[in-house]
Structure 1
Amino acid sequence: MFSLVIASQLFTSIFLIIGLKRVLPRYRQAMTVAAIVCGIAAYHYFRIFDSFKAAFVTDAIGGAGDYVQVAGASFNEGYRYVDWLLTVPLLLLELIAVLALARKVQTSLLYRLIPASALMIALGYPGELTADNGMRGIFGLLSTIPFAYILYVLFIELTKSLDRQPVSVRRTISQLRLLLLLTWGVYPIAYLLPMLGIDGSDAWVGKQIGYSIADILAKCLYGLIIFHIARMKSFADDPAFARMELSVDEAEEVATPTNPRGK
């Protein structure tokens, strides 16, 4: 799973960097931030991978047997939380950047969402480290408060922004709200596994798999959707750019009268 996440994050980052010129300059900030998010995640998963190899060993050929923890060694979960502390605010920034909202609205959103995201990660970390399910539940609940606030603000603002977006991306942005809810919802489920009657190595492995899948969806898939939105908005903003990038039929479809910004 760690190897899969490394490959996904690394090559999504490379794809987004290569694709910068495939969108108009006003949307490249969102693309750059998306590439940075995946790059940061790839780096930290290298560290997570190495931490696993140092903490757990097996005598089986090809690593197919049972793993045992090395005496005096431990798996460093801190890498994951440092990654989230950096990437979650950036995920919010790339979404706000691609929507191209008024500067005052962007500033207001960042002032509200960035501190909330940092608080969410900081409150979750102590619960991650403890073996006491009661303490894990308390910190999980406290972390859920800023988590719910972030989702609420994003749903409200994304809904408000729909009328100001090109017709071609409204459905995608609307679906992005559900993607945020579904992908971000995987994290608390994985976090709560030790409290759901699953214990020992099963809980630990399940938690790592859950976090890994969530990171692929919330960073790689999310970044590719941001790229798609940036492309479609570029075509709607500049018909000449659309004609260069698309076939004649596709360019005409983007510039239909039902899309005011594509006229």
Structure 2
Amino acid sequence: MAETDPPVPELQTLSPALYDVGQFAVLGAGLALLAYLLYAVVSRDEVSARYRPSAHAAICLAGVATAAYALLLLDWDTGFRLVDGSYRPTEEARTTEGTRYVDWSVTVPLLTVELLAVCSVAGTAARRLRASTMAAAFLMILTGYLGAQVVDQGRDRLALVVWGLVSTAFLGYLYVALIGAVRRSLPTMGPEAAASLRNATTVLLASFGAYPVVYAVPVFADVTPAWFVTMQVGYSVADVVAKVGFGVLVHKVAKLRTAEDVAAGADTHPEPVWSANVRESEAVPPVPGRRPAGS
């Protein structure tokens, strides 16, 4: 790379303060995701089998994200060396953003599975919608990766714009498809579950919107060390909101819908369903040889 080339975003020399902020963001997000993974594992049986695919998707994405942040922390530790009072990048620093894109290529499709599993779309329509949103989510990440990392190491502004627009088109489809599924589902559930589902959808789609904003920074300006660290903080916060905040809200929807099904006699659950210290339904153990009403 010539001295006059625009700087590769990840290959920035950082002050000790900036290095520490980036490390804090990555470590903090990683620990939050680890805590959420443990929560998702121990709470999966709080919902009925009908909504348990949502819990399973949450466990999978939390596990992948936790592993990715462990690698990110390793990338951060090995990617910079303290020389004359500054942290200078090594070639390993290039893997920092690549690790994030690998993480997102798995976890973002799983986020769509997690949301759709508590919606009321069923049968063939549900399978088609799940497949199309997972594909759109993966292609959204892949095309963003091409612009941000592959073409001229993320320094080609035209490539950033073109691939960013393609990625945004897939994001637009996700907005339309997921909002449509949620709107069709709201009339089929009680007001508390509906409110929680709206909140979860708002959190997810708002956090999705944070990524294009950070992606667009190199389009309009060369990435300075301060901006590079700001990007790491922004991505880490968005990951926690999109995975942990959204996941807790979706789990609440699954519990409330489980309680509604039990109260209506449409399903059983071996333990009382609690939400925010409120008993939403009593325990109704399954009766051998008898199907729940409406099954």
Q: TM-score range by the shorter chain?
A: 0.7 to 0.9
Instruction: Give 3-state SS (helix, strand or coil) of 1:95's partner.
Output: helix
Instruction: Specify every segment of 5 or more residues in structure 1 that has no aligned partner in the other structure, as ranges.
Output: 256-260
Detail structure 1 runs of 4+ shifted over 6 Å in the superposition.
Answer: none
Which of 16, 21, 26 matches 2:40?
Answer: 16
Written as runs of structure 1 = structure 2, the 5 A alignment for 1:1-263 is: 1-58=25-82, 66-70=86-90, 72-76=91-95, 77-129=97-149, 130-197=154-221, 199-239=223-263, 241=269, 244-246=272-274, 250-251=278-279
For residues 274 and 183 of structure 2, the distance between their equivalents in structure 1, rounded to whole angstroms, comes to 29
> CA separation in 1, counterparts of 2:27 and 2:278?
38
Task: Name the SS of the counterpart of 1:25 in structure 2.
Answer: coil
Q: 1:245 to 1:102 in 2, by over 3 A?
A: closer
TM-score (norm 1): 0.86
Tell me which structure has the larger Cα radius of gyration: 2
What is the CA distance between 1:162 and its match in structure 2?
Answer: 0.8
TM-score by length of 2: 0.77
The CA RMSD measured in Å over matched residues stands at 2.4
CA–CA distance in structure 1, aligned partners of residues 209 and 179 of structure 2: 14
Mapped partners of 1:123, 1:243: distance in 2: 45
Residue 242 to residue 173, structure 1, CA distance change in 2 (3 Å) = farther
Matched residue SS, 1:99: coil
- Structure 1 residue 177: Cα displacement: 2.8
Pair 1:137–1:246, CA change in 2 (3 A):
closer
- Gaps in structure 2 of 5+ consecutive residues: 1-24, 283-292
Relative to its length, the structure with more helix (as a share) is: 1
Report Cα offsets for 1:199-234 as digits up to 9, x if no partner.
Answer: 221221121111111110111111111111111111
Cα deviation for residue 194 of structure 1 reads 2.0
Matched to 1:78, the amino acid is: G
What is the distance in 2 between the residues matched to 1:102 and 1:244?
Answer: 26
2:120 touches 2:184 (CA, 8 Å); kept in 1? no
**Aligned equivalents of 2:26, 2:120: Cα separation in 1:** 34
Q: Assess if the C-alpha contact under 8 Å between 1:8 and 1:216 holds in 2.
A: yes
